[in-house]
Structure formats: structure tokens, C-alpha cells
Amino acid sequence: MSVDIPRTPAIEGKTLIHLFEKMLEIRRFEEKVWDLFGRNLIPGTLHLYIGEEATAVGVCANLRVDDYITSTHRGHGHCIAKGARLEPMMAELLGKKTGYCKGKGGSMHVADASVGILGATAVVGSGIPIAVGAGLSCKLRKTDQVVACFFGDGASNNGTFHESLNMAAIWKLPIVFVCENNLYAMGTRISNVTAIDNIARRAIAYGMPGVTVDGNDAVDVFQAAREAVERARKGQGPTLLECQTYRHKGHSRFDPATYRPQEEVAEWMKRDPIVRLRKKLTEEQVLSEEEAAEIDKRIIDEVEAAAEFALGSSYPELGEALEDVFVRAR
């Protein structure tokens, strides 16, 4: 089914529906974990991606299963968008044995090598050099795989960002550096720590294209990422893609985010990426209201089933604490 949308004639209806479904999957998953956390069923903390879904989904919709991503402390959305399954995701967050890391990693350490998720990490900026290593591996193995590297505006002031982009550009590595500029690094507003408005301008210094898009518009992100992924796949090197977005919640589950002006929050709430895409889909008759509601209902059921699976799973045994931590030397 093709739809005629200004500026996006090449995007098929089925792709738009895929973007909508994946964003909803992330949103409903995180709403559920917000609830479970409140019931003291999730240890540690959570960094929710609610509000930023269009970025992960728009980028990952251009990737193949054998392409790679690196993720961050705010990684649930990246992992779900790249194809992580809800059941082991949920179980990992609850610290259960059936989780992706057997319950020993938690929210900030989800990985699934079978779909190219090289891992989330709690150390800000540390995924960026890992993406460079993965990109170098793709190049040396002469595959046409691509790496999407997600990181925040805060991470872009870390030394690893500058060193990694420089190296990736010199070696023309197949990487899309995706900066999720949500205006804050914990409680620090970007204008207090970054002298330029658009982080994408930094690409000039490393001799690669830099593109800024509306990170709350899944179609805009999808199109810009498509170009960047194609460049990378053709051996033309990395791109810096800045997606301007906003988290609806605080930095973590413990943060009431009182440092953000109410008017700013209200303004961004009006730009909710899921509401926007749903409106576009129904107005352009790609989906009826009933079909959109049915998709949402199906996803809520899938998330509920994942939660039941996780709640019904066992915790790891104490004796397993050090398993999978060290490799025995031969």
C-alpha cells in the first residue's frame, strides 16, 4: 500500500505502520516497567525513553538484522527498535534468570548479539568507541554491515565522542553516529555546557556530513537515517545525525525534573511522536482509527504477556553470581 505524503513519496504505507507499531511497543513496554518499578519489582533504577521513540525507530527501521547498534543508559527503545524480544527484556529488568543477561545486567545492560545489539552501557560516551571498533571490524571483514551508534547530547561533550568521530572519518567506517539531543544531561541544560545550537555542526571538524532532524518525527528521522545508512553501506563513510527530541519523564525514575520550565514541557508534550504519526496515518487513510486502536490493543497484550513471563520466572541462584563474569584461562 503506497501513500502520497509531501516530502516522503518513497515511504510505503507498510513502513509507516511499522514505525507506528515499533514506537508503540517501546511506549507500552516502558509504561509497564514504570508501573512495575513503583511496585518495587525492579531493582536499581530506570532511564525512560518515553517521548524519544521516533529516533530509535526511525534509525533502526533502516537496519538489517546483521547490522549493529551500540546503546546507552536510556537503551530500552534502541533495543526494542533493533529487534530485542519483550520477554527476555522484561525478565532482565526484573533481575530474572530468563533475562537477556540472566538477570545480572538489568535495565542498563541489555545485549542480544543475535540481532546485532552490542550492548547498552551505563558509562556515558563509552558506546561510541565500541561502535568504531565494530565499524572497523565490518570494514576489515569486507562485509557491507552498518553500525548505528546512539548517544546523548551530554555524551557529545565527552572526549570519546571527538576521538571516535575523528578515527571513524579517517578510516571511512560504516557508522551512523546518532546524537539524541534531548536538551538535558541529567539536570544540566545543553546551553550551559555546549556553545553551539546544533551538535551536527561538529561534523564539519571531522570531515563528515552532519544533519539535524526533528527527532520527534519518525518520518524525518527515517529519511535522514536512510541516506546515512546507504552512504555507510556503500563505503562512503560515517555521518553525524542529530535528532532533536525530549524525554517526557525525568532523567531517571527518581528524578521529578523540576529544573525544566513547565511551558517547555507542555510545548514538547504537544509534539508527542506517537500522537503525531497516528494522526498522519489516519488522516492519510493508511490506517483507520479502529485499526490503529487494534494495533495498540495487540501491543498492550504482548507487553502484559512479557510481564507475566518475567514475574513468573525465577531469580538466579546465589551460586550463579560469578558465572558468565570471568573467562577461564586455558
Ligand X SMILES: Cc1ncc(C[n+]2csc(CCOP(=O)(O)OP(=O)(O)O)c2C)c(N)n1
Applying CB under 5 A, the residues found at the interface with Mg ion are: 152-154, 182, 185
Q: Which of residues 62-81 bind ligand X (CB under 6 A)?
A: 73-74
Q: How far is the CB of 301 from ligand X (least distance, A)?
A: 29
Stretch touching ligand X by CB under 6 A, among 130-138, 181-189, 231-239, 311-319: 181-189
Considering the complex, state which of residue 80 and residue 185 has its C-beta at the smaller distance from Mg ion.
Answer: 185
Position among 51, 103, 154, 237 found at the interface with ligand X (CB under 6 A): 154
Considering the complex, state which of residue 154 and residue 174 has its C-beta at the smaller distance from Mg ion.
Answer: 154
Q: Does 152 bind ligand X (CB under 6 A)?
A: yes
Q: Does 127 bind ligand X (CB under 6 A)?
A: no
Q: Does 186 bind ligand X (CB under 6 A)?
A: yes
Q: How far is the CB of 186 from ligand X (least distance, A)?
A: 5
Considering the complex, state which of residue 10 and residue 186 has its C-beta at the smaller distance from ligand X.
Answer: 186
Considering the complex, state which of residue 200 and residue 306 has its C-beta at the smaller distance from ligand X.
Answer: 200
Q: Does 215 bind ligand X (CB under 6 A)?
A: no
Q: Does 123 bind ligand X (CB under 6 A)?
A: yes
Q: Does 250 bind ligand X (CB under 6 A)?
A: no
Which H, E and C letters describe the chain, residue by residue? CECCCCCCCCCEHHHHHHHHHHHHHHHHHHHHHHHHHHCCCCCCCCCCCCCCHHHHHHHHCCCCCCCEEECCCCCHHHHHHHCCCHHHHHHHHCCCCCCCCCCCCCHHHCCEHHHCECCCCCCCCCHHHHHHHHHHHHHHCCCCCCEEEEEECCHHHCHHHHHHHHHHHHCCCCEEEEEEECCEECCEEHHHCCCCCCHHHHHHHHCCCEEEEECCCHHHHHHHHHHHHHHHHCCCCCEEEEEECCCCCCCCCCCCCCCCCHHHHHHHHCCCHHHHHHHHHHHCCCCCHHHHHHHHHHHHHHHHHHHHHHHHCCCCCHHHCCCCCCCCCC
Positions touching ligand X (CB under 6 A) are: 73-74, 122-124, 152-155, 180, 182, 184-186, 251
